[in-house]
Amino acid sequence: RRQKIGAYPLSRAGAAELDGTIFTLRAMGYIGQNDQLTLKGRLLRSIFHPAGIAIIELIMSGVLDGLMAQELAEVCSWFTFDSDRRLNNRSLVHNRLIKVRKELWRVIQHIHGIEGRAGITYTPAVVTEFHGVALAWARGMSLSGLLRRIDLGEGDILMLLNQTIDLLQQVQSAVGQVLDAKDIWERITLVMTDGVSTERMSPTHTEQLQQQRERLERLRPLLAQASSSLLHGIIVQSRTVPSMATRVEGEILLLDAEEDRDAHDLKDPQAFAGEV
Q: What is the pLDDT of residues 114-166, one digit of tens each?
A: 999 999 999 999 999 999 999 999 999 999 999 999 999 999 999 999 999 99
Confidence (pTM): 0.78
Count of structural domains, the chain: 1
Residue 85, judged by CB atoms within 10 A of its CB (0-12, 13-18, 19+), counts as: exposed
Q: What pLDDT sits at residue 213?
A: 94
Could you read off the pLDDT of 119-131 as tens digits, one per residue? 999 999 999 999 9
Domain annotation covers residue 129? yes
| Residue 221, domain extent | 12-254
Task: Over range 182-211, report the average pLDDT.
Answer: 63
| Confidence class for position 271, pLDDT limits 50, 70, 90 | very low
Could you read off the pLDDT of 66-109 as tens digits, one per residue? 999 999 999 999 999 988 888 999 999 988 999 999 999 999 99
Q: At residue 188, does pLDDT exceed 70?
A: no
Domain annotation covers residue 264? no
Domain annotation covers residue 275? no
**Alpha-carbon torsion (79, 80, 84, 90), positive or negative:** negative
Helix axes 182-194, 203-230, angle to 10 degrees: 140
Residue 8, judged by CB atoms within 10 A of its CB (0-12, 13-18, 19+), counts as: exposed
Q: Kindly report the CATH number assigned to the domain that includes residue 201.
A: 1.10.3380.30
Report d(CA 276, CA 271) in Å as an integer. 12
Could you read off the pLDDT of 4-21 as tens digits, one per residue? 555 557 788 888 888 999
Following DSSP, what letter does each residue of 206-251 receive, concatenated?
A: HHHHHHHHHHHHHHHHHHHHHHHHH-STHHHHH-S-GGGEEEETTE
Domain annotation covers residue 263? no
CA 79 to chain centre: 10
Please give the helix or strand (H or E) that residue 254 lies within, else none: strand 251-254
Report d(CA 2, CA 183) in Å as an integer. 28
| Confidence class for position 274, pLDDT limits 50, 70, 90 | very low
Supply the DSSP symbol for 124: P
Q: At residue 43, does pLDDT exceed 70?
A: yes
Domain annotation covers residue 59? yes
Q: What pLDDT sits at residue 167?
A: 97
| Confidence class for position 193, pLDDT limits 50, 70, 90 | very low
Domain annotation covers residue 5? no
Q: Is the separation of the CB atoms in 92 and 150 below 8 Å?
A: no
Q: 150 in helix, strand or coil?
A: strand
Domain annotation covers residue 104? yes
CA 184 to chain centre: 19
What percent of the chain has a predicted confidence (pLDDT) above 70? 78
Q: Is the separation of the CB atoms in 73 and 226 below 8 Å?
A: yes
Domain annotation covers residue 260? no
